[in-house]
Chain A
Amino acid sequence: MNTTPSKIISNQMSLTPRWTETVSMAFRSIVKVKGGLLGAVFISIMLLCALCAQWISPHDPDAQNILQRFAGPGFAHLFGTDYLGRDIFSRIIYGCRIAVLVAFGSVTLSSVVGVFLGVIAGYNEGKKFDYFIIWLFDIVRSFPQIILALAIVAVLGPSLVNVVVALAFTAFPFYGRIARAQTLSVKEADYVKAAEAMGQKPLTIISKHITPNIMAPVIVCLGMDMATMVIWESGLSFLGLGVRPPTASWGIMLRNGYKYIQVSPWMILWPALAIAFAMIAFSLFSEGLRVALDPKERNR
């Protein structure tokens, strides 16, 4: 009855700041939580490219065409061609395979070894074995990581498997230290004490009660490490110490691009963009993981 137009307007006016606030809050939560979602979507795209490379890519990544060298982006070749006339778009797609393989492979290997050693060391805190493991971790951590990886690949010879092994070797102490520190705190928890009092074997306690409860920070670390591994794989390949040519790897493509930097910018730009895409994907995802797994962040 008394809802005159002016009254409605004044009601809406008083609502306005709340609306913008709601919108900005929603936007912030999208960036915070949905950012992780976006990262997951990006990673899925990479996985899809890696798994279905032969169906997605329009050309054979290794097919050379001397007449079509250094072509710019166009209809025939979406991203152009390289110094041998190979289709850059197809090579980028196939490059996903190497990136994903190395990222998941080396991170899995290093985290499994690192967590295993770290938990056992933490459980045997203060014993000789613990000191030995700490020493081992500290030695490996003393090397600048990529230089150690480079030396290992130089000794073992460049190949996909060797790159994975070398990168995993440089990274396992970081997981080990996280796992050890977490174990030290978890081991004092009541449920572990109770299990010990009930006479459960150390192996059971470690696998059933400790390991599941230390995984949150390890998982957060996994996400961030994958990005690093992608960088280092392309770095090693760029130096010619990673995956063997003619395999399509973003690092090898950069290496060729560097050789022909005077001739064609596209040979550098596309793989650089691909790496940037992967970096953003993995870091958004790991940031989302961190927020999701951190109770302090969740309440913000």
Chain B
Amino acid sequence: MKKEDPLLEVSKLTLDYHLGARQMRALDRISFQLEKGEIMGVAGESGCGKSTLGLAIIKLLPKIANIRRGEILFKGRDLLKISENEMNQKIRGQKISMIFQNPQNALNPVFTIEKQMTDILRVQEKYKNREPRSSRYFREQAIERLKSTGIADPQARLSNYPFEFSGGMKQRVMIGMALSSGTSLLLADEATTALDVTIEAQINRLIADLAAEYGTSVLYISHNLGVLAELADRIMIMYAGRIFEMGATADLFDSPYHPYSAALLESLPSQQTRGKRLLSIPGFVPPLDQLPKGCSFHPRCPFAEDICKKEVPPLEQVTSGHFSACFLDRKRGRQKWQWI
């Protein structure tokens, strides 16, 4: 049986930010694949390049970003070689959508929800070169979209301004804009971070349900491993612009290969850690233009050996479908990292 081509295949994506005379590597040889309908969680502390990855895929990087090499194959085509025009006409908002971290500012404050939603639907129609439709059609489409996200009384809510919605409701509106049956890939950048825990769970449920319904793949970026555990099929752990570990969620949670992943898991509250002190990793993520030589994690890693300070560990497959970038993991096998 021939395996289906992956929906998204990122290979060796390397990207720099230029800030004045400073140059920093925000993404370093990022390679991964995303299957159709799969939910991939991207985790890591802030400043590790998670958001940059999302913006790179939908090609909305700030001007100071400079892609050095690599490719982003989406349905077999390299997005990096697609013109801005084609990106707008065929990809953005239709095939690939993105929802952002802060729903407070993600919607335009001076326009009604109706205007913002129908505008999007209207340009998409236009790009598809279809017959012009009436505004009533778009209005009904917008109502449908809102309804699918569980917003009560969508007809009435359409004429509201964003400030009349709560944070969770705004994120529902965003999801309604982003997800439809045609969406192949959803990039969710810390989509629920700014929300209350109960609302967060509801919104995540909504994303998962809609993605399953439409067969949409999701790249779910979050610093919260607990959320990813419930949501994601696979998880990618990033640190300072590199992938440290990637594997099936259960596998990775059960026995992480990389000490950094282990530390992240140790810092999660759970049944096992009940009554114990949670781990907090000493130190902080280094600024991207001051990365240490060798493995960028070694100054914070209690297990570091000489080789870690000299060479960069490559990302290698350790067991089937499970990748890790550490010199020590293979030596230790599946033995637990004793952080505490």
A and B touch in the complex (CB under 8 A): yes
The residues of A with any CB-CB pair to B shorter than 8 Å are: 18, 21-22, 25
- Tell me the total A-B contact number using a CB cutoff of 8 A: 8
CB distance from B66 to the nearest CB of A (A): 11
CA distance A132 to B21 in the complex (A): 56
* Neighbouring B residues of A25 by C-beta, 8 Å: 20-21
CA distance A18 to B16 in the complex (A): 14
Which partner residue on chain A sits nearest B21 by CB separation? A18
The residues of B with any CB-CB pair to A shorter than 8 Å are: 18, 20-21
CA distance A22 to B21 in the complex (A): 6
CB distance from A285 to the nearest CB of B (A): 27
Give me the 4 closest cross-chain CB pairs, A-B, nearest first.
A18-B21, A22-B21, A25-B20, A21-B21
CB distance from B289 to the nearest CB of A (A): 13
8 A-B interface contacts by CB (under 8 A)? A18-B21, A21-B18, A21-B20, A21-B21, A22-B20, A22-B21, A25-B20, A25-B21
Which partner residue on chain B sits nearest A22 by CB separation? B21
Which partner residue on chain A sits nearest B23 by CB separation? A18
CA distance A25 to B20 in the complex (A): 7
* Neighbouring B residues of A22 by C-beta, 8 Å: 20-21
Contact residues of A: prevailing secondary structure = helix
CB distance from A239 to the nearest CB of B (A): 43
CB distance from A249 to the nearest CB of B (A): 47
Contact residues of B: prevailing secondary structure = loop
CA distance A25 to B18 in the complex (A): 13
CB distance from A27 to the nearest CB of B (A): 12
* Neighbouring A residues of B18 by C-beta, 8 Å: 21
CA distance A25 to B21 in the complex (A): 9
CA distance A281 to B72 in the complex (A): 54
CA distance A18 to B21 in the complex (A): 5
CB distance from B153 to the nearest CB of A (A): 38
CA distance A35 to B80 in the complex (A): 42
CA distance A22 to B19 in the complex (A): 10
* Neighbouring B residues of A18 by C-beta, 8 Å: 21
CB distance from A66 to the nearest CB of B (A): 63
* Neighbouring A residues of B21 by C-beta, 8 Å: 18, 21-22, 25
CA distance A18 to B20 in the complex (A): 7
* Neighbouring A residues of B20 by C-beta, 8 Å: 21-22, 25
CA distance A143 to B265 in the complex (A): 67
Which partner residue on chain B sits nearest A20 by CB separation? B21
CB distance from B333 to the nearest CB of A (A): 43
Which partner residue on chain B sits nearest A18 by CB separation? B21
CB distance from A134 to the nearest CB of B (A): 27
Which partner residue on chain B sits nearest A17 by CB separation? B18
CB distance from B325 to the nearest CB of A (A): 29
CB distance from B19 to the nearest CB of A (A): 9
CA distance A254 to B279 in the complex (A): 76
CB distance from B21 to the nearest CB of A (A): 5
CA distance A21 to B18 in the complex (A): 10
Which partner residue on chain A sits nearest B22 by CB separation? A18
CB distance from A300 to the nearest CB of B (A): 12
CA distance A152 to B186 in the complex (A): 67
CB distance from B146 to the nearest CB of A (A): 36
* Neighbouring B residues of A21 by C-beta, 8 Å: 18, 20-21
Q: A22-B21, A25-B21 are in contact. List 6 more A-B contacts (CB 8 A).
A: A18-B21, A21-B18, A21-B20, A21-B21, A22-B20, A25-B20
CB distance from A246 to the nearest CB of B (A): 56
Which partner residue on chain A sits nearest B18 by CB separation? A21
Which partner residue on chain B sits nearest A15 by CB separation? B21
CA distance A22 to B18 in the complex (A): 12
CB distance from A116 to the nearest CB of B (A): 37
CA distance A22 to B22 in the complex (A): 10
CA distance A158 to B224 in the complex (A): 72
CB distance from A32 to the nearest CB of B (A): 14
CB distance from B68 to the nearest CB of A (A): 13
CB distance from B315 to the nearest CB of A (A): 28
